[in-house]
Structure 1
Amino acid sequence: MHSDLARIVGEQYVLKDAPAEWTQDASIAMGLRGHADAVVLPATADEVASVVAWCYERGVAIVPRGGGTGYSGGATPAPVPGTAGPEGTVVVALDRLDRIRSFDPGLWRIEVEAGVTTQTIARRARENGLMFPVDPGAAEQSQIGGNIATNAGGPHCFKYGVTRAWVTGVEAVLAPGELVSVGGPTRKDVAGYDLVGLLTGSEGTLGIVTAAWLRLLPAPPHPAVPVACAYPTVDAGCAAIEAVMASGVVPATIEYLDAGALAAAAASFPGGLPADAQFLVVCEADSGQADVAELLEALGPGARRHEPRELWRWRDGVGIAVTAVQGGKLSEDIGVPLDRLAEGITGTVEIGLRHGLDACSWGHAGDGNLHSTFLLRPGDREQLAKAEVAVEELFDLAVSLGGTISGEHGLGWLKRGQLHKQWAPAAVRAHRAVKDALDPAGLFNPGKKTA
């Protein structure tokens, strides 16, 4: 295996012992580790195609990998023996596909390879008076290929949309090792089925995206201004969110923290919080001072402006603060309709109580996207077992509210086999048929995104 792969990518770019950091992603926080027989780091799309062809000929599983920042185990090789390829597993890391192939600021577009980081794209756009608004966590590490594979979101996707809204075309390697391009720099293209959309969010189970054409926008003419307001109850906070929606302003973000998350992070909140704060709403306007004033009015008494860098630095640390309460957590990314948000928030806490677990949530309120979290002591197997049962109930809650088991992280390995909870059998069969058609040998990221 190793000598064959070395002839494709060069000996120094085949890691024979598959170091641990290449066989896990951010789901390692939940104890998920995989195994691979080799890690390869191709430098070009043609090398990726050759690696895939070699694997497909020999029944070797292919696990694409970007920055490793995903939370669902999508970049973790199948951890359970017998669920990968019959002849082993190869991780295909895309770090070396890091070129910006073309950039046309005047036409608001950029073509990048899969290994270019989200931060690099955003910075190049910003330097030229443009914006790429997709902002998943760990932008300095996450790569555009991984963003596309998971259809990544983030706080600003409330106004600007998730990754799919910014992808006009992709270059990808499909089975059994064919390099294809669908879409491109053209902004409108309805010539065939939406293969760009199909590959976006496919979590590497249908092929490997090697490059993408992205659309950009002129940066907003007004500086973004975040505003925040604390409330004594969940219902009061959710009523304020609905008031924001009814205000006529389109905020760039609408975020929330419930009482548990707020308790963990309140000490470092810029300017402090009222003693009775049990719920926090954070919005941001990038459309002028009049809209900032409208948001302040919609949020009600106690709402105030914040310095953007300070506020968002604090918001980025919420997950760390929650983890620090007991040393660990099991967190999921359910989504519900906005008018059922309060039920999702209180339901998370109630599920935790039933299982003897502290629970909280925070997330992207405007999208109804909750990071529902059960706090754990590291190494406590009994607590972890309870949390795994609680998560099953959490998925049931989301579906009962008309929502989804995954708002932005994808299914990966951790949510395999759960899709049937929200889809009818005919839809599940269609989902499986797509996989079978594009990956007939089942070698692309086996075990992931299953129904």
Structure 2
Amino acid sequence: MTSRDRGAAAVARDLARIVGDVHVREPVPAELLQDATETRGVRGEALAAVFPADAEETAAVVRWAGAQGVPVVPRGGGTGYSGGAVPDAGSIVLATDRLTGPPTIVPEAWRGTFGAGTVTADLQRRCLEAGLFFAPNPGSAESCRIGGNVATNAGGPRSFRHGSTRAWLSGLEVVLPGGELVRLGGDARKSVETLDLLGLLCGSEGTLGVITEVTLRLQPAPEVALPVLAVYPDRDTGLAAIAAAMACGVVPTALEFLDGGALRAAAQTFPGGLPEAAAFAVIAEALGPADIAALEAAALAEALADDALKVVRPDTRARVEALWAWRDGVSLAVVAARGGKLSEDVVVPAERLGEALAAVDRLGAEHGVPVTSWGHAGDGILHATVLVDRNDAAALAGARDAAHAMLGIAADLGGALSGEHGIGSVKLAGAAALDPTVLATQRAVKDALDPRGTMNPGRKLPPA
């Protein structure tokens, strides 16, 4: 008889023997049964939620689950947009909240090691206190966790110049599906003594193991961050400005865009206000030593100035932080427009961003739903978004159809289904259309590491 057959109470008793009664939740709280896909109606079920204190307890939980045939769903901050941390009936949620042991930061070596449950913004603050810098800055940094960032290879605006989480990763402690606790990589900044197992785990969305500790390559903290924002009367002018910024000889730390709908939703909260005619916005940033960043910011501002309605160059730290806080709030502003949104992080070659935006508009018109986009222009990532009243069942169904159709933009324009949010369960149908040999290769890896299929099944990889 498996633990699934014995019921939730028996499962909770078994788990309590490993982590203690107070660190098991049964029934599972509602917030652990959903993530940021809740507008889509993605909600799960689970037998219990367990909160191990360290890597050894995590390994014991995974071994127990494997022996009992109970699926394990690793969970960080629950901020994902793909349903990757939403459990299925008969599974357990393994929450990493308590995996937050004291960090080890070595300033002279530009390195830090952190528990997987460390909140990303807290990690960034600790790095800055030590004179160091961790660039990936997802919009959910105040609530997501570094283990989840690794599991999804999270990025953010500053990934354009500095790379997503994988570029900063030098070591992992991970519990494999069989319950073995292993270290991959380590303190050395470079190693080719094995296959790229770090790269295999990074972005695997919990399907190949549970990350318990992360070692990061860091950089000296930059002296200044100097963003430039410019707004334009129409999309074509804004796209031309992006091309000019890409051609000006400076590699910006970030190169962002907002189309008309996103800009209108967020304009009222922009510090200092924006022209009423503004229909497209571009944000570029130079970051580094003050004298070099000032030269780079000036070059970016010059490139963005042609035909701009307004160019904003914050000149104090408070104003810089206010600009980025405004940018981080765009998603919430878009939600407020209708009460909900469904968003896809479609990726296209950067030079085809205009075609992708036009395709989003066409799909909105075809499905009769309001759409908007914003995102990382330099990386070609657009958060193609359908606005919806989450209490209107018919509108929500139409929004789901439109959002799913947006996945076709990636295939049509030579891009990818996801650049940041992952496949999870939401994009499995789209992923099923990938090259059959690529899919078979991924499944072979999964089967080799997780022959019982108990590690976050039904996520990332479409069924054969």
TM-score normalised by length of structure 2: 0.93
* Contact 2:105–2:130 (8 Å) recurs in 1: no
Match of 2:449 among 425, 432, 438: 438
Query: What is residue 311 of structure 1 aligned with on the other side?
Result: 323
CA positional deviation for 1:325: 1.2
What are the within-5 Å matches in structure 2 for residues 40-439 of structure 1?
Answer: 40-78=50-88, 88-221=90-223, 223-287=224-288, 288-301=293-306, 302-306=310-314, 307-421=319-433, 423-439=434-450
Greater shift, 381-390 or 396-405, is seen at: 381-390
- Measured in 2, the distance between the counterparts of 1:265 and 1:21 equals 28
SS state of the match for residue 358, structure 2?
A: helix
User: How far is the alpha carbon of 1:254 from its aligned partner?
Assistant: 0.7
Aligned residues of 1:100 and 1:116 also touching (Cα < 8 A): no
- Which digits, 9 at most, give the CA deviation of each residue in 1:104-160, with x for residues without a partner? 111111111111111121111111211011111222211111000100001111111
Match of 1:85 in 2: none
Q: CA deviation at 1:101?
A: 4.3
> Contact conserved, 2:39 with 2:390, CA < 8 A, in 1?
no
The answer (yes or no) to whether the contact 1:413–1:447 under 8 Å persists in 2 is yes
Change (3 A) 1:343 1:360: same
What corresponds to 1:84 in structure 2? Answer: none
Q: CA deviation at 1:274?
A: 2.3
- Cα pair 1:145 1:209 within 8 Å, conserved: yes
CA drift of 1:235 comes to 1.7
Which residue identity does 1:253 align to in structure 2?
A: A
The AA in structure 2 aligned to 1:427 is V
Verify: 1:6 aligned to 2:16, yes or no.
yes
**C-alpha displacement of 1:310:** 1.4
Structure 2 counterpart of 1:63, which letter?
V
1:304 is matched by which residue type in structure 2?
Answer: V
User: Matches of 1:193 and 1:156 in 2, distance apart?
Assistant: 28
Q: Which amino acid aligns with 1:106?
A: E
| Contact 1:151–1:163 (Cα < 8 Å) also in 2 | yes
Task: Give yes or no for contact 2:258–2:282 (8 Å, CA) kept in 1.
Answer: yes
SS of equivalent to 2:18: helix
CA contact (8 A) 1:417 1:450 kept: no
| 1:200 maps to amino acid | C
Deviation at 1:98, TM superposition (A): 0.2
Please give the secondary structure, in 2, of the residue aligned with 1:373: strand
Residue 444 of structure 2 aligns with an amino acid whose one-letter code is A
Contact 1:100 1:110 in 2 (8 A): no
Structure-2 separation of matches of 1:175 and 1:438:
7
> How many Å separate the matches in 1 of 2:435 and 2:455?
25
Do the aligned residues in 1 keep the contact of 2:40 with 2:400 (CA within 8 Å)? no
Q: Which runs of 4+ in 1 moved over 6 A?
A: none
Letter in 1 for 2:283: V
Q: Tell me how large the CA RMSD over aligned residues is.
A: 1.2
Which residue of structure 1 lines up, in the alignment, with residue 8 of structure 2? none
Indicate the percent of aligned positions where both proteins have the same amino acid.
51
CA–CA distance in structure 2, aligned partners of residues 176 and 195 of structure 1: 16
Indicate the larger mover: 242-251 or 304-313.
304-313
Q: How far 1:276 sits from its partner (Å)? A: 2.1
TM-score for the superposition, normalised by structure 1: 0.95
Single out whichever of 145-154 and 29-38 deviates more from structure 2: 29-38
Which amino acid letter does the alignment assign opposite residue 95 of structure 1? D
State the 1:275 CA deviation: 2.8
Check whether the contact 2:347–2:418 (CA below 8 A) recurs between aligned residues.
yes
Q: CA–CA distance in 2 between the matches of 1:378 and 1:26?
A: 13
Letter in 2 for 1:285: A
Matching residue's letter, 1:23? L
1:357-387 CA deviation, whole Å, 9 max, x = no partner? 0100001111111011111112222222222
1:73-129 superposed Cα distances (whole Å, 9 cap, x missing partner): 111102xx5xxxxxx211111111101342211111111111111112111111121
Match for residue 4 of structure 2?
Answer: none
Conserved in 1, the CA contact under 8 Å of 2:113 and 2:213?
Answer: yes
Partner Cα distance (1:153, 1:183) in 2: 21
**SS of the residue 1:303 aligns to:** strand
Q: Give the SS at the match of 1:103.
A: strand
Provide Cα deviations, 1:42-78, integer angstroms capped at 9, x if missing partner. 0010110110000001110100011111111111102
Partner Cα separation in structure 2 for residue 100 and residue 164 of structure 1: 22
Measure how far apart 1:317 and its partner are.
1.2
The residue type paired with residue 294 of structure 2 is: Q
Q: CA deviation at 1:31?
A: 1.9
Partner of 1:18, secondary structure, is coil
Which 5+ residue runs of structure 2 have no aligned equivalent?
1-10
2:396 maps to amino acid: L
Distance 2:222 2:250 in 1: 15
In 2: Cα distance, 1:235 partner to 1:436 partner: 48
